[in-house]
Amino acid sequence: MHRRYSYVPITQRPDFSWPEGRRLAVYIGLNLETFRFGEGLGAELAPGGPQPDVLNYAWRDYGNRVGAFRMADLFDDLGLSLSVLVNSNLYDDCPGLVDRFRSRGDEIVGHGRTNSERQGILPEAEEMALIKEATDRIEQAEGNRPNGWLGPWISQSPVTPDLLKEAGYSYLLDWCHDDQPVWFATRSGPILSVPYPQELNDIPMIVGRKMDAAPFADMVIDNFAEMLEQSADQPLVMGIALHPYLFGQPYRLRHLRRALTELKTLADERVWWTTSGAIADHFANLIPAT
């Protein structure tokens, strides 16, 4: 057992509400990622050949050069704030990219240095150094340290929650085990886990299961409608995880526009459009760690 949290079914927890009595908190996690040329990990459009794997590298780079800006325009049109999950190497690899989202007032979340590597396979000292390097680079660029962290490739070692707590993080996003925030135990005190989706996530769906844009958009709409009904009994969190090299493609962007427009139509006073950081702050103030 990991001993990070205890088992409490969602039907046996204290009731509470999001701000203004709302019951369903919805946030979008936009992953801004950079990849090494000629080495390291990376999602594949087609089975990769010998390095340099130009096909897959260029496919991913489209997201930073084009797709992210198209998506930012869409979120502007819909009035939606984001949690932007940032590889810190982007500040040097793609100067100006993060500026587009900072200017919108979006939350910046730590997401490692690059998605060409996994932190969870590193010795503790090296993982600590990775977290520190990424955090310091974001603070240098943004003027403040991020409060939340998502590991590159959802990668955690046995001590990652401990290291994040000790680095000053208040919440993490790697776990998809619940529809409410959950307090984790660490060797230095509690850290909050905010639900991050793996079903409403374009990487496992589109890259892993070979689903494409239309059924993914339908899935987002159906999930929202069902969770809105379920939220009468328990306050819930619905996250949507997106990557610009996938949903920044024009034909997929069209379906994302359809899905989010439908969600805005279905939404009422029960829905809180927010960020993962605002969810963490509200929950921590209402349900302190025990």
CA distances to 17, 78, 251 from 4, in Å: 25, 38, 41
For residue range 243-275, what is the model confidence (pLDDT) as tens digits?
999 999 999 999 999 999 999 999 999 999 999
Alpha-carbon distance of 18 to 32, in angstroms, equals: 28
3-class DSSP assignment, residue 78:
helix
**Is residue 169 situated within a structural domain?**
yes
For residue range 66-112, what is the model confidence (pLDDT) as tens digits?
999 999 999 999 999 999 999 999 999 999 999 999 999 999 999 99
**Is residue 44 situated within a structural domain?**
no
**Is residue 13 situated within a structural domain?**
no
pLDDT bin (cut points 50, 70, 90) of residue 19 is very high
**Is residue 207 situated within a structural domain?**
yes
**Is residue 95 situated within a structural domain?**
yes
**Is residue 96 situated within a structural domain?**
yes
| Domain harbouring 68, CATH code | 3.20.20.370
Structural domain count of the chain: 1
**Is residue 2 situated within a structural domain?**
no
pTM > 0.95: yes or no: yes
Residue 265's domain spans which residues?
19-38+62-286
Nearest 5 degrees, angle CA 211-CA 263-CA 33?
50
Query: Using an 8 Å Cβ cutoff, are 31 and 248 in contact?
Result: no
**Is residue 54 situated within a structural domain?**
no
